[in-house]
Chain A
Amino acid sequence: MATNEQTGRFGEGDASSTNDFEHRSSRSGGANYSVERARPGLPSTSAKRLAKGLGWFSLGLGLAELLAPRAIANISGVSNKHTGLIRLYGLREIGSGIAIFSQKKPTEAVWSRVAGDAVDLVSLGVAASNPNAKLGRVAFATANVLAVTALDVMCAMQLSNGANHGIHARGTCVVNLPPEEVYSFWRDFENLPRFMRHLESVNDLGDGRSHWKAKGPAGMEVEWEATIIADVPGEVITWRSLEGADVDNAGAVRFERAAGGRGTIVRVNIEYNPIGGVIGAAVAKLFGEEPEQQLDDDLRRFKQVMEVGEVVVSDATLLGTGYMKQRPGQPAAASELEGADTVPSQTATNYASERRSTQL
């Protein structure tokens, strides 16, 4: 079983998932498998292209500042005495430029340009207060820097957004049953809380719509309505949340006959906007709420429910399977398990434990 988490928009850096979906859709009769993109926004490729442009600009201006500081001083209308400082700024520009080209996703480098712009603007302000300054030229230079700053800020924000907008988790497992059977179990969304630990309940509202209740971080309860986007029996189900969801999210699950008919390969893609955005997600991670680990655990439980009929627990994993959740490998006292919804005997979908008749 393996899971990957990726932050970013659907499709970005994960050509396999969406493209694969689209590819399959054309093969099997035009159903649209691709998960709709719920959010508008500049495709991040254009942000990257803009970043490259800014990188070339940095290198050009930096070289000019380094090699011809007097000319730069003249054009900007500042005193010729500051050539040393201008050379230094040139080095800074070159540094930003190199950083932009050396990073795959130059978010920090572009933000460093924004910081550099701020320094430039302050310097120009100081220059303007000098009685010898040619105010017209300083104003012209300031306007240019402001224009570039606007571009820098826009680019940096787009890159940052792309990096932190959604959480994307992928996972896969093999279930020792035919695809049709595995599909049917999943298609009844009301089954999902049996193995997805964060779901409290899913109610089928008919017409492909469903109402979901889940536990968010720090015990928050979140709800949303979802609609099925694509549904091909034995092959694929995709769904996404509707307007007004507490958490915007989308999911896709595919079922493939494993080689040799050895069961079904299940592939799941899930994306959501974390509660509290970037900071919320970071805090959740601190508390062991790793999306990829959650999906991995969910799929392991899914396989258990499909193959053996219930979620398998050990003494150590009664409260969860994460490192922090491990308890000693010894039976738990009743008091320790009170309210622990991870114990099969205490959840609705598993049977209630009968107390041993033979008291010790």
Chain B
Amino acid sequence: MRANCWYGKTVVSVEDVPDPQILNQQDAIVKITSTAICGSDLHLYNGFVPTMQRGDILGHEFMGEVVEVGRQVRNLQVGDRVVVPFPIACGKCFFCKDQMFSLCENSNPNAWMAEKMFGHAPAGIFGYSHMTGGYAGGQAEYARVPFADVGPIKVPNHLSDEQVLFLSDIFPTGYMGAEMCNIKPGDTIAIWGCGPVGQFSIRSAFLLGAERVIAIDEVPERLRMAEEGGAETINYREQNVYEALMDKTGGRGPDSCIDDVGMEAHGPAVIFAYDRIKQAMMSETDRPHALREAIMCCRNGGTISVIGVYGGFIDKFPIGSVMNRALTIKTGQAHVQRYMRPLLEMIENGDIDPSFVITHRMSLDDAPRAYDMFKKKEDNCIKVVLKPDWKNGAGAKDDNDTVIH
């Protein structure tokens, strides 16, 4: 089959690789109909995540049709149309029983690597380094999906791929980012990062009862999309974020802040340069500018929700601000399995149509170009969906464009 493989920093290539097979009794094989590139894939692409190996298949946002199931699979049948959550979870361990699926104890065979890095290991993740299991990812024609009874969710045929695909990651992730803020009616929520996850945090915050959402980014088209979602915006290239937020909230600060950025934050030149140099010299692995700023801006007693991905260590962390002002920090890889069903219901009810975030649709064979474009934010690129069954070069900017095969 064709699959998008990682070969080093900013090098990916679509290769012919062996087809996946059932390895465990609870596996299913899914023929992928739609797969997306995630902002967190850029951390792999840019070489910031350790334990990658040449030939690793990328991709953890995918959906498709079940073409084979293992003997122990009860809930799925060949022919079912499913969306696959990015964390792999067994459903039986202490954490799965407690709905903390991204912390599953049994799905990461390389847990020892993560234990060395983090002290304890998170769950396995599709196509996301060997530290999270070394599973082949979903930017491919087929994928092996372990624990098929626990993860994949069947989706009704009247919803298009584009409406349900993001149940795999960015919609639940953005939603959990907002949910961790414990939003009360009337709250003002500030959101750093208006990438796809940030866009879903904005809409989720409103769905959860926020009165005002203030979104922070520098990319005009992302800010425009945030405004379309009802948010006020701050362009940090044009305004001082702290001053702008204090101005908007009468000096008290937002009730909660969401870090939808993660380890590769950009910011004002001097601070960015400081963190970028430290990162390059390996004296900090992550650039935490957005997180620092979110902490300083949050109102006393507020919540910092960290849903953007961090991988290692950061520097100049304002713990004094956190402690003296009674802030709460909540974090985690999204427990996607927990959110898929309620969020699918929201989609069915018409509360939200997640396809709004898509800007590019391309063939799987175009993955290298898509990564480059997404990284450089060229052509107003916000979210790319890859189609394994499209021929090379076929692409359309939206549903109405004619797709030339």
Instruction: Quote the shortest CB–CB distance from A194 to chain B (angstroms).
Output: 13
A64 at the interface (CB under 8 A from B): no
Beta-carbon contact of A312 and B107 below 8 Å: yes
Beta-carbon contact of B24 and A310 below 8 Å: yes
A65 at the interface (CB under 8 A from B): no
Q: Quick check: which of B14-22, B189-197, B358-366 contacts chain A, the rest being far away?
A: B14-22
Instruction: Quote the shortest CB–CB distance from B66 to chain A (angstroms).
Output: 10
Report B-chain residues with C-beta under 8 Å of the C-beta of A28.
none
Interface contact tally, CB-CB below 8 A: 153
B72 at the interface (CB under 8 A from A): yes
A92 at the interface (CB under 8 A from B): no
Instruction: Quote the shortest CB–CB distance from B105 to chain A (angstroms).
Output: 7
- Tell which of B22, B57, B107, B112 touches A353, judged by Cβ atoms closer than 8 Å: B22
Instruction: Quote the shortest CB–CB distance from A259 to chain B (angstroms).
Output: 12
Instruction: Quote the shortest CB–CB distance from B303 to chain A (angstroms).
Output: 28
Q: Quick check: which of A53-61, A106-114, A329-337 contacts chain B, the rest being far away?
A: A329-337
B67 at the interface (CB under 8 A from A): yes
Instruction: Quote the shortest CB–CB distance from B38 to chain A (angstroms).
Output: 16
Q: How far is the CA of A318 from the CA of B57 in the complex (A)?
A: 15
Beta-carbon contact of B106 and A330 below 8 Å: no
Instruction: Quote the shortest CB–CB distance from A109 to chain B (angstroms).
Output: 33
A307 at the interface (CB under 8 A from B): yes
Beta-carbon contact of A307 and B93 below 8 Å: yes
Beta-carbon contact of A314 and B106 below 8 Å: no
Q: How far is the CA of A329 from the CA of B71 in the complex (A)?
A: 24
Report A-chain residues with C-beta under 8 Å of the C-beta of B111.
1, 300
Report B-chain residues with C-beta under 8 Å of the C-beta of A1.
111, 115
A residues contacting the other copy or chain, number (CB 8 A): 45
A9 at the interface (CB under 8 A from B): no
Report A-chain residues with C-beta under 8 Å of the C-beta of B334.
none
Report B-chain residues with C-beta under 8 Å of the C-beta of A300.
109, 111-112
Report B-chain residues with C-beta under 8 Å of the C-beta of A14.
none
Report A-chain residues with C-beta under 8 Å of the C-beta of B92.
176, 307-308
Q: How far is the CA of A328 from the CA of B23 in the complex (A)?
A: 16
Q: How far is the CA of A297 from the CA of B109 in the complex (A)?
A: 9
B residues contacting the other copy or chain, number (CB 8 A): 52
User: Scoring B residues 122 to 145 as 1 if CB is less than 8 Å from chain A, else 0, what string do you get?
Assistant: 001001001001111100011010
Beta-carbon contact of A316 and B23 below 8 Å: no
Beta-carbon contact of B110 and A330 below 8 Å: no
Q: How far is the CA of A355 from the CA of B142 in the complex (A)?
A: 14
A174 at the interface (CB under 8 A from B): yes
- Tell which of A176, A321, A344, A358 touches B24, judged by Cβ atoms closer than 8 Å: A344
User: Scoring A residues 57 to 95 as 1 if CB is less than 8 Å from chain B, else 0, what string do you get?
Assistant: 000000000000000000000000000000000000000
Report A-chain residues with C-beta under 8 Å of the C-beta of B142.
360
Beta-carbon contact of A313 and B109 below 8 Å: yes
Beta-carbon contact of A329 and B23 below 8 Å: no
Q: How far is the CA of A174 from the CA of B94 in the complex (A)?
A: 9
User: Scoring A residues 281 to 319 as 1 if CB is less than 8 Å from chain B, else 0, what string do you get?
Assistant: 000000000000100110010011001111111111110
User: Scoring A residues 20 to 32 as 1 if CB is less than 8 Å from chain B, else 0, what string do you get?
Assistant: 0000000000000
Interface residues of B (CB under 8 A from A): 1, 3, 5, 17-26, 29, 31, 53-57, 67-68, 70-72, 78, 90, 92-94, 97, 105-107, 109-112, 115, 124, 127, 130, 133-137, 141-142, 144, 146-147
Q: A300-B111, A308-B106, A360-B1 provided; 11 other pairs, C-beta below 8 A?
A: A293-B112, A300-B112, A304-B106, A307-B105, A314-B136, A318-B23, A326-B53, A329-B127, A330-B17, A345-B22, A358-B78
Interface residues of A (CB under 8 A from B): 1, 174, 176, 262-263, 293, 296-297, 300, 303-304, 307-318, 321, 326-334, 343-345, 350-351, 353-358, 360
Chain A to chain B: the 6 pairs with minimum beta-carbon distance, closest first: A316-B134, A328-B55, A329-B56, A317-B109, A331-B20, A333-B18
Between A and B, 5 residue pairs with Cβ closer than 8 Å are A309-B25, A312-B146, A314-B110, A356-B67, A358-B67
